[in-house]
Amino acid sequence: MTDAPALLKIENLTTVFGGLKALSEVSLEIVPGQAIGLVGPNGSGKTTLVNTVCGLYRPASGRVILEGIDITGHRPHSIARAGINRTFQIPKPFKDLSVYENVKVSSIHSRNHAPIEEVLARVNLREFANHPISELTAAQQKRLDLARAVALEPKVIFVDELAAGLTPGELHEVAEMLKEFQALGIALIVVEHLMGFLEQVVASVLVLSAGRTIFAGPLRNALADEEVKRVFLGGESDAGN
């Protein structure tokens, strides 16, 4: 693929909830500016991977290495400060704050205090800076969530189902934004069910089923892979051990 040293290395990450192994020995490497899709049926462990890497859950085993430094089990704010940020499957803006203020709150923890106007411009929300959150459409709220992630000047962003519920036009707009982030050197791990959207953004994917990796490689090969097809067409939905 590429000879650049890995920016983020996830090694054999395992996360357990009670008796449920939601994530089982999952590994992934990404270099600056690369975009990898993270795919799998409902309950296959995608968000658990995001939450474990970002420090919300402590892994039972495995390691998370950012630029050669082991950050496994560090607190979420320290992982965010180190350069890994994420969007939420369901955005959680501060509802009483304006668009500008929401991004400002995130940027406080950035190293260089990213200029808010610039961040808003990157997600086409500049003219909404002083608007209350309640005036944003669902698509705009998703872009605000992306702005909040970018305001921390991350090296890696996990994008958790940003595309759900967007129109084809809105999807294309978001895909173009993600490509611009890549051009800035930001690595993206894109959790997504919509293949048409993924095709616009990523060349390779990691496919999870019941917490395990069942495929890692080019997206077009994944679509032809027998096990991937079986898992998706079989409607499997529960993580197991």
What residues line the site for Mg ion (CB under 5 A)?
Answer: 46-47
Residue 48 binds ligand ATP (CB under 6 A): yes
CB of 43 vs Mg ion, minimal distance in Å: 8
Residue 47 binds ligand ATP (CB under 6 A): yes
Residue 142 binds ligand ATP (CB under 6 A): no
Residue nearest to Mg ion (CB): 47
CB of 17 vs ligand ATP, minimal distance in Å: 3
Residues 65-94 that bind ligand ATP (CB under 6 A): 89
Sole residue written with tokens 């180190």: 82
> Is 159:133 a contact under the CB 8 Å cutoff?
no
Tell me which DSSP letter residue 187 carries.
E
CB of 79 vs ligand ATP, minimal distance in Å: 18
Q: How far is Cα 237 from Cα 117, in angstroms, rounded to an integer? A: 42
DSSP assignment of 52-82 equals HHTTSS--SEEEEEETTEE-TT--HHHHHHH
CB of 108 vs Mg ion, minimal distance in Å: 27
Residue 239 binds ligand ATP (CB under 6 A): yes
Residue 46 binds ligand ATP (CB under 6 A): yes
Could you tell me where the beta strands, DSSP code E, fall in the chain?
8-17, 20-30, 35-39, 61-66, 69-70, 84-86, 156-160, 187-191, 204-209, 212-218
> Is 216:204 a contact under the CB 8 Å cutoff?
yes
Q: How far is Cα 93 from Cα 215, in angstroms, rounded to an integer? A: 34
Of 16-24, 96-104, 108-116, 149-157, the window that binds ligand ATP (rule: CB under 6 A) is: 16-24
CB nearer to Mg ion: pick between 39 and 202: 39
Q: Is 30 exposed, middle or buried (CB count within 10 Å of its CB: 0-12, 13-18, 19+)?
A: buried
Nearest in space to 170 (alpha carbons), one of 128, 200, 215: 200
Residue 43 binds ligand ATP (CB under 6 A): yes
Residue 137 binds ligand ATP (CB under 6 A): no
Q: How far is Cα 149 from Cα 87, in angstroms, rounded to an integer? A: 6
Q: Using CB distances below 5 to 8 A depending on partner kind, what does residue 17 bind out of ligand ATP, Mg ion, none? A: ligand ATP
Q: Which two tokens stand for residue 136?
A: 């944003």
Residue 45 binds ligand ATP (CB under 6 A): yes
Binding ligand ATP (rule: CB under 6 A), the pick from 34, 44, 102, 204 is 44
CB nearer to ligand ATP: pick between 5 and 165: 165
Q: By the criterion CB under 6 A, which residues form the site for ligand ATP? A: 17, 20, 22, 40, 42-48, 89, 239
